[in-house]
Amino acid sequence: MFIKQLPPHLINQIAAGEVVERPASAIKELLENSLDAGATQIDIDIEQGGVKRIRVRDNGRGINKEELSLALSRHATSKIASLDDLESVLSFGFRGEALPSIASISRLAVSSKSQDEDQAWQLQGNGQEEFDEPTPCSHATGTTIDVRDLFFNVPARRKFLKTEKTEFRHLEDVVKKVALSRFETGFTLRHNQKTVLNLRPATTLKMAERRVAEICGPAFTEQSIRVEHEGAELTLTGWIGLPTFSRSQADLQYFYVNHRIVRDRVVTHAVRQAYQDVLYHGRHPAYVLFLEIDPTKVDVNAHPTKHEVRFRESSLVHGFLYRSLHRTLAELRPQDQLPDQV
């Protein structure tokens, strides 16, 4: 056996296996980058379920010409510089893996104009870690990432892709989840030239409710109540479905920790317990909830896809969630409660 150092291109492809499972996972990374760049408008163009093309255009702060190649290099990030920064990170990204991973398994081009420069520049990813010089292009301040032919060089991955329709459904789900995390940012989504979503920036509670209705359906907004609880260390806001709006599946449950969507057992358990007395057995509550917590009290680096977090004081979080929701549900008018409680 010979021990060999893997070439960077291959390392990126291996990392891509963790981060990019399907078009939906690529779009998640791109949208999070746009939000991290402070974008207030994000326009998404998809072709053939995202396999042919994913293009995300934002009006964020852009990338300098000198840094374009760094953006496509592994472990290069503008978001943290030390372990201390990681402890209190509030940005979505910090691993510096997404762009190089996606670039290694697709034909990728970045076009960007930095807010500090007058000229926009474009760089083509070529899967290697050496890049040609950026070429001038036309772009307003912000960034467009154009990803074509995802997995063109990873036949094993391509084989596992489902139909165009299914891949697009996953992708649309991700866009909706991200759109719920930043009401102030506008989003458009087009699939094969057809507009699927057009969400205007929502700056008031009423506009936010309209966005929730567009994403979760009007029935949810009509049959949900507003939650606003501020504790000493934690804040919980959002909407929870009335007991009469329970679901047969746990399919309308959105929970965000500092704007990051997460699946977490502590959370699920606390919510279930709060609903325990007002839901029939086997029914699931519907909710869109936002928890704000001191970032040093939560570890977001628990998994490469960052779907999971770890609360440092999980019983504190559990107690706060349970009490907040239990109190909201206990204040319901009798007609919003179930007739025969079991």
Assign 67 to helix, strand or coil. Answer: helix
Rounded to the nearest 10°, the torsion over CA 96, 137, 54, 289 is 60
* Footprint (CB under 6 A) of ligand ADP, residues 19-78: 29, 33-34, 37, 58, 60, 62-63, 71, 77-78
103 binds, among Mg ion, ligand ADP, none (CB under 5 to 8 A by kind): none
Question: Amino acid identity, residue 131?
Answer: F
Specify the residue, 278 or 298, whose C-beta has the smaller distance to ligand ADP. Answer: 298
Q: How far is the CB of 53 from ligand ADP (least distance, A)?
A: 17
Residues that bind Mg ion (CB under 5 A): 33, 93, 98
The CB-nearest residue to Mg ion is 93
Q: Which of 23, 49, 50, 96 binds ligand ADP (CB under 6 A)?
A: 96
Q: Which of 99, 175, 300, 317 binds ligand ADP (CB under 6 A)?
A: 99
The H or E element that residue 311 is part of is strand 310-311
Specify the residue, 147 or 216, whose C-beta has the smaller distance to ligand ADP. Answer: 147
177 binds, among ligand ADP, Mg ion, none (CB under 5 to 8 A by kind): none
* Footprint (CB under 6 A) of ligand ADP, residues 104-163: 143
Question: Helix (H) and strand (E) counts for the chain?
Answer: 11, 15
31 binds, among Mg ion, ligand ADP, none (CB under 5 to 8 A by kind): none
180 binds, among Mg ion, ligand ADP, none (CB under 5 to 8 A by kind): none
Please report whether residue 97 would count as binding ligand ADP according to CB under 6 A: yes
